[in-house]
């Protein structure tokens, strides 16, 4: 019986902990509002996209590239899953990010141990790795990722991607190894094994 009496008593929080509780509740309320706004925006965008296509305005008129596949609904946002105009728009946005942010900040000097190719768009492996890096950058630099997000992006995504891309035997291994001698060459891929046996 004494337990039920304790449950009816108001909870008393020491004044020195009250600021922490208020900050936590405020952060949760703000996060809930952002999620509600995102949900409202997503539900509002669905009919607008369908209505625009009926009026002769295709998905190419929207500012953000769509990852929808007309025949089967939503597909992967990964660039290798995209085709046609959607792929071209995503590649253009990726190129902007690579040239305006990634290379100026993280490009470093081109050497034989760290090659690079100015025509990286023609290297499918590079496009795939850079796109994955960009998707992770968008996720981990968002405010919802928290203060540790950028650090995790560097550790878990940027460093491993650059090690693979700029390795002497990576996709740019036959390309530029000195900024004064630009070079571009696609390495051939292994031939698929014959399944006859």
> In tens digits, what is the pLDDT along the chain, a chain of 197 residues?
444 555 566 656 666 666 666 666 666 666 666 666 666 666 665 444 333 333 333 333 323 334 444 444 556 788 888 888 999 999 999 999 999 999 999 999 998 899 999 999 999 999 999 999 999 999 999 999 999 999 999 999 999 999 999 999 999 988 988 878 888 888 777 888 876 55
Stretch (H or E) spanning 69: strand 68-69
Work out the number of other CB atoms within 10 angstroms of the CB of residue 188: 7
**How many residues would you count in the chain?**
197
Contact 74, 126 (CB under 8 A): no
For the record, the structure tokens of 52 come out as 């625009």
Contacts of 99 (CB under 8 A, 6+ apart): none
What pLDDT, on a 0 to 100 scale, did the predictor assign at position 23?
67
How far apart (Å, rounded) are the C-alpha atoms in residues 94 and 72?
25
What pLDDT, on a 0 to 100 scale, did the predictor assign at position 121?
95
What pLDDT, on a 0 to 100 scale, did the predictor assign at position 53?
38
Contact 64, 56 (CB under 8 A): no
Contacts of 175 (CB under 8 A, 6+ apart): 115, 116, 117, 119, 183, 184, 185
């Amino acid at each position: 019986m004494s337990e039920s009496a304790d449950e009816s008593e108001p909870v008393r929080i020491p004044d020195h902990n009250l600021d922490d509780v208020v900050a936590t509740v405020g952060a949760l309320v703000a996060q809930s509002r952002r999620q509600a706004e995102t949900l409202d925006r997503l539900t509002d965008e669905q009919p607008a996209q369908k209505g625009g296509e009926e009026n002769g305005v295709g998905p190419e008129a929207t500012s953000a590239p769509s990852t929808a596949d007309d025949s089967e609904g939503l597909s992967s946002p990964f660039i290798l899953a995209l085709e046609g105009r959607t792929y071209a728009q995503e590649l253009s946005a990726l190129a902007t990010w690579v040239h305006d942010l990634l290379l100026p900040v993280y490009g470093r000097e081109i050497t034989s141990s760290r090659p690079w190719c100015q025509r990286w768009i023609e290297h499918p492996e590079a496009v795939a790795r850079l796109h994955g890096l960009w998707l992770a950058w968008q996720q981990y630099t968002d405010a919802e990722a928290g203060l540790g997000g950028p650090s995790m992006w560097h550790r878990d995504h940027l460093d491993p991607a650059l090690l693979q891309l700029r390795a002497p035997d990576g996709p740019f291994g036959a390309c530029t190894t000195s900024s004064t001698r630009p070079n571009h060459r696609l390495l051939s891929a292994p031939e698929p094994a014959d399944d006859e046996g």
